[in-house]
Amino acid sequence: SQTIHQWPATLVQPVGSPLSLECTVEGTSNPNLYWYRQAAGRGLQLLFYSVGIGQISSEVPQNLSASRPQDRQFILSSKKLLLSDSGFYLCAWSRPQGGTEAFFGQGTRLTVV
Amino acid sequence: GNSVTQMEGPVTLSEEAFLTINCTYTATGYPSLFWYVQYPGEGLQLLLKATKADDKGSNKGFEATYRKETTSFHLEKGSVQVSDSAVYFCALSGSWGKLQFGAGTQVVVTP
């Protein structure tokens, strides 16, 4: 069976510090990978998606970047965090053929202070 | 572009009451439709799905029917429990499997 791991679960970082959130998927090959952000009391916004190693598409301009160094690894990064980067970050994967459901990790609660 | 509109919450119900959460969408083509549930502090779990018109998705007593003529995918449950308290998201699939979510509806079930 497939599993998705996302860490850390919670993170408190000062403004201006770097960020690295990691997500790995097991039990599947060549998944589509996604990073979503959920601001407090609001819906989910797609930040990045990837259909293969090294292939990253950004959905919204922002202070964050993403990388996919391996088939089942997806990393969300920032060089300098802003207060507005606070939120709940969710990694997800779906099967490569599209039109199917996505499976989500447990999320990372990021608080920038 | 694609969009999903779902009723605002919170929706407060007594245990064993009937639950309906409305969801309508706009999309090009014929997307798959989903309901996800999020418990406090957790990620999203797929609750049910429908991949074509007139399909009915069901799981854990919840049901939703893909209505192409009204572009709707309303979620229903006949008798809610306290454990159903959560935030429910309606979503549709776009290109590359990207999901377009509604804003979420918080459901609170009281004993």
Q: Which amino acid is at B64?
A: A
Residue A107 with chain B: CB contacts under 8 Å: 41-43
- With beta carbons less than 8 A apart as the criterion, state whether B22 and B6 touch: yes
Residue A43 with chain B: CB contacts under 8 Å: 89, 101-104
Which of B21, B38, B73, B99 is the best mutation test for A, with the most CBs of A within 10 A? B99
Quick: pLDDT tens for B30-47: 899 999 999 988 889 999
Quick: pLDDT tens for A42-85: 789 999 999 999 999 998 878 899 999 999 999 999 999 999 99
Residue B43 with chain A: CB contacts under 8 Å: 6, 90, 104-107
Q: Which residue of A has its CA nearest to B42?
A: A106
pLDDT at B30: 85
Task: State how far residue B1 is from chain A, nearest Cα, in angstroms.
Answer: 13
* SS3 track for chain A: CCEEEEECCEEEECCCCCEEEEEEEECCCCCEEEEEEECCCCCEEEEEEEEECCEEEECCCCCCEEEEEECCEEEEEECCCCHHHCEEEEEEEECCCCCCCEEECCCEEEEEC
pLDDT at A98: 67
pLDDT at A8: 94
Check whether B29 has a pLDDT greater than 90. no
pLDDT band for B24, please (50, 70, 90 cuts): very high
Q: In chain A, pLDDT over 70 holds for what percent of residues? A: 96
Please count the residue pairs, one from chain A and one from chain B, whose beta carbons lie less than 8 angstroms apart.
65
Element (H, E) at B105: strand B105-110
Question: Hey, is B101 helix, strand or coil?
Answer: strand
Tell me which residue has tokens 């994967």. Answer: A93
Task: State how far residue B7 is from chain A, nearest Cα, in angstroms.
Answer: 13
Partner residues linked to B89 by β-bridges:
B36
Q: Cβ separation of B42 and A106 shorter than 8 Å?
A: yes
Task: State how far residue A34 is from chain B, nearest Cα, in angstroms.
Answer: 8
pLDDT band for B21, please (50, 70, 90 cuts): very high
pLDDT at B96: 81
Task: State how far residue B80 is from chain A, nearest Cα, in angstroms.
Answer: 23
* SS3 track for B46-74: EEEEECCCCCEEEECCEEEECECCCCECC
- With beta carbons less than 8 A apart as the criterion, state whether B47 and B24 touch: no
Tell me how far apart the terminal alpha carbons of chain B are, to the nearest angstrom: 41
- With beta carbons less than 8 A apart as the criterion, state whether B103 and A43 touch: yes
Residue B29 with chain A: CB contacts under 8 Å: none
A75 vs A91: CA distance, rounded Å: 9
Report the DSSP pairing between strands A19-26 and A73-78: antiparallel
Regarding predicted confidence, which is higher, A99 or A51?
Answer: A51
Element (H, E) at B36: strand B33-38
